[in-house]
Amino acid sequence: PRRIIIDTDPGQDDAVAILLALASPEEIEVLGITAVAGNVPLPLTARNARITCELAGRPDIRVFAGCDRPLERPLVTAEHVHGRTGLDGPELPEPRMALEEAHAVDFIVETLRREPAGSVTLCPLGPLTNIATAFLRAPDIVGRVAEIVLMGGAYFEVGNITPAAEFNIYVDPQAAEIIFKSGVPLTIMPLDVTHKALVTKARNDAFRALGTPVGLAVAQMTDFFERFDKEKYGSEGAPLHDPCVTAYLIRPDLFSGRHINVEIETTSELTMGMTVADWWRVTDRAPNATFMGDIDAEGYFALLTERLARL
Ligand code: BDR
Ligand code: CA
């Protein structure tokens, strides 16, 4: 299996991404989960990560709290999408498993130093603050990362938090810039992909029809998450962003994209956090990321339903 650290700000879609990983031990081994401030403040993302592990029947997974604010900018949260707790929708018990005492950044640094070089993949599902802080503090680990597969950015679909920027990159553009300039192989799941993965009624019904606590909770999470896009945009359903990352580790064939140059806007307030993706290769800037553009949405939801049934 691919050995991964999930860096996350749950978030209903983060929770589904974690559930998919924990349901797929043949392909994915979760070394730990690191929480970061993003959709909601850090105490809630650290709580929601543990609720999700317990929902999966995996209280043994180690969960670490990390950075409570972006490197330079004030924290921007998204309760308007995810609700007050970040995991609104299902009624789930408060977590009983403890949060690890170590800081998430120390866990990331120590894990990358301890494990063989090139054996650990990082999977960020939120703002990139924890990963960038680890890279700043311990530059020796950068070359040891096998790959970073992250959800963030946009090209044709442009912004969801400002007209120019996607939420995860916008919240901490300085951190994103460090990751995009790091030289680590990057695979990016932007809005261009996730906006093609909508939770239609039939897909939500399929989760509910699993008849398990996990199936019901995921259906209630996506119901809640959906009200935002449906009410605001009249779309068929909400995009299920973050599970694209863990789905890619299981079925890379579901995704297609281009290996291109992607730079992060960090100065202009108007376009702060924009992922300037050279999709048409109009510059001679060196490619630094595989920027996905398309997804087999039917295959993606079939995979999710089949795997969630195993929990
Ligand atoms: C990203 O922002 C968050 O609201 C979601 O969890 C996802 O990671 C989508 O822009
Ligand atoms: Ca997220």
ipTM of the complex, rounded to two decimals: 0.99
Q: Are 176 and 38 in contact (CB under 8 A)?
A: no
- Mean pLDDT (the chain, rounded): 96
Q: Is the CB of 13 under 6 A from ligand 1?
A: yes
Is residue 82's pLDDT more than 80? Answer: yes
110 CA distance to ligand 2 centroid (A)?
A: 24
pLDDT digits (tens, 9 = 90+) for 113-133: 999 999 999 999 999 999 999
pLDDT the model gives residue 207: 97
Q: Is the CB of 36 under 6 A from ligand 1?
A: no
Phi-psi region of 120 (alpha: psi -120 to 50; beta: other; left: phi over 0): beta
Question: What is the atom index within ligand 1 of the atom nearest the CA of 241?
Answer: 7
**CA 160, 12, 232: angle at the middle one, nearest 5?**
40
List Cα–Cα distances, 255 to 98, 188, 196, 245, 298, in angstroms.
Answer: 36, 11, 11, 10, 12
Question: What is the atom index within ligand 1 of the atom nearest the CA of 14?
Answer: 6
Q: Are 88 and 82 in contact (CB under 8 A)?
A: yes
Residue 62, judged by CB atoms within 10 A of its CB (0-12, 13-18, 19+), counts as: middle
Most ligand 1 atoms within 8 A of CB, residue of 162, 168, 169 to mutate? 168
Most ligand 1 atoms within 8 A of CB, residue of 7, 8, 13 to mutate? 13
8-state DSSP, 86: S
118 CA distance to ligand 1 centroid (A)?
A: 27
pLDDT the model gives residue 117: 98
- In which band, very low, low, confident or very high, does the pLDDT at 209 lie, cut at 50, 70 and 90? very high
Interatomic CA distance for residues 54 and 253, integer angstroms: 30
Q: Which residue has the tokens 């509910």?
A: 208
Q: Is the CB of 222 under 6 A from ligand 1?
A: no
pLDDT the model gives residue 236: 78
- In which band, very low, low, confident or very high, does the pLDDT at 19 lie, cut at 50, 70 and 90? very high
pLDDT digits (tens, 9 = 90+) for 135-192: 999 999 999 999 999 999 999 988 999 999 999 999 999 999 999 999 999 999 999 9
120-124 and 145-151 strand pairing: parallel
Most ligand 1 atoms within 8 A of CB, residue of 8, 16, 87, 125 to mutate? 125
85 CA distance to ligand 1 centroid (A)?
A: 15
Q: Is the CB of 167 under 6 A from ligand 1?
A: yes
